[in-house]
Structure 1
């Protein structure tokens, strides 16, 4: 069945197509964190990464990201975090992230088949060099019609402007597009801000959102469920002028 209900799909990179939560193993094995706590900390750090104002910060990118880990520990356990633990987690994450950034065969096959029917665009926040390194490491360029890195634009997700830029690249209207990502505050809120047809939240760890969090149109536990979601999005014809 053709996907005539949407004209473009925007996908996030980190924790949507690839998994960057390798540090969870360290927290469980060396520091005896419970699995639930380790996942919460990792999720908090990923949100902080996606929202970081690295262009405005007076810190180096290294110090800024160590501070993200410190804050995530403190927010989770309501106690002062060890800077040494935060440093260890950050440098482990940094040293292993490129090694573990590969698209699974299932994801590759899904993107290949999906792209036959609808244009795909990779939309990721973050520092230009950092994100381009990840894109190159996971070799995802062949699976997308366009790639947009927030650090190369005036504004990042959740600002509507970056979504409009993506629409212009593909020659589509916001109301014909779907945003897919794992972060409510950037991916989902951004899609809602820009008036996209639908937003799909990848909730791998079945996190219960806070009451004030943006509400996605669809929630799935794996990006591999995306095709089924797209097939069921109600088609609303565009009104011709």
Structure 2
């Protein structure tokens, strides 16, 4: 029989769990909109250009072994978005200008709110905190540096540094081994049902906590989290309930 040691460790996702990446992205797109308004680009095309970029970002595939950086790939997203709307008569520097306006604005807008930072500082006193984020190595480490959160975690793991990302069991196993904990000692907290919650279940964690900030209904056929909260700031309620089990 497995010894019941209670929750010893909390694994957090980063984007839209601890930081409002979606909100920062909206600010960044607005800044690109303003940039494009100052150019020869027709104003009635700007929304289409920005939406086209966002669609390419959503469906992005990136293989660093191909010799390109994530910056190269995303500059090309802007190039294609502009070309598809404006044709071939493009300022050759405009895609790069759009990208770096978007990227730098998004990083500047990313922040741990004082409330979230305070929560992590309090949790740090009683739990091993782990950060496990999917994504390209460069992009995710830039975000982590921008929000200055690395010191709040015993272990920080970026999916792009490893052969497999969430929901693969292997990356969770790496977390457990790095922190010196067992799966049943941990809970997984994140906003994605398909990566965070499914990954936590695959790895055998004690409980999964879904951050459902939009109060969405659970999609039909999706994995079911053990707990659902509207904000990570409600995590203490979950921990209190788990202590009673």
Query: With structure 2 as the length reference, what TM-score do the two structures score?
Result: 0.71
Among 155, 163, 178, which residue is 2:187 paired with?
178
Q: CA deviation at 1:20?
A: 1.5
Within-5 A mapping of 1:63-212: 93-212=102-221
SS at match of 2:112: coil
Shift of 1:53: 5.3
Worse-matched range after superposition: 202-211 or 124-133: 202-211
Work out the CA distance in 1 between the residues paired with 2:86 and 2:202. 36
CA distance in 1, matches of 2:25, 2:98: 6
Distance (Å, rounded) in 2 between the aligned partners of 1:107 and 1:197: 23
Residue 141 (structure 1) shift = 1.4
> Residues 7 and 119 of structure 1 are in contact (CA less than 8 Å); yes or no, is this contact kept in structure 2?
yes
Alpha-carbon distance in structure 1 between the residues aligned to 2:19 and 2:102 = 14
Unpaired runs of 5+ residues, structure 1, are 33-41, 70-80, 237-241
Partners in 1 of 2:75 and 2:224 — Cα distance?
30
Q: 2 CA distance for matches of 1:19 and 1:106?
A: 13
SS at 1:219 equivalent: strand
- Partner of residue 9, structure 2: 8
In the superposition, relative to structure 1, how do residues 145 and 48 fare at CA in structure 2: closer, same or farther (>3 Å)? Answer: farther
Residues 23 and 144 of structure 1: CA distance in aligned 2, closer, same or farther (over 3 Å): closer
1:224 is matched with 233
CA contact (8 A) 1:47 1:185 kept: no
- Per the TM alignment, residue 101 of structure 1 is displaced from its structure 2 partner at its CA by 1.6
Query: Bigger shift: 176-185 or 209-218?
Result: 209-218
Quickly say closer, same or farther: Cα 1:48–1:16, change in 2 above 3 A. farther
**TM-score w.r.t. length of structure 1:** 0.72
Report the structure number with the largest CA radius of gyration. Answer: 2
Report the alpha carbon displacement of residue 133 of structure 1 after superposing the two structures with TM: 1.0
User: Secondary structure, in 3 states, of the residue corresponding to 1:156?
Assistant: coil
Structure 1 vs Structure 2 CA RMSD: 3.6
> What SS does structure 1 have at the residue aligned with 2:184?
helix
Q: CA deviation at 1:96?
A: 1.5
Task: Classify 1:232/1:167 alpha carbon distance in 2 versus 1 (closer, same or farther; 3 Å).
Answer: same
Separation in structure 1 between the aligned mates of residue 196 and residue 99 of structure 2, nearest angstrom: 23
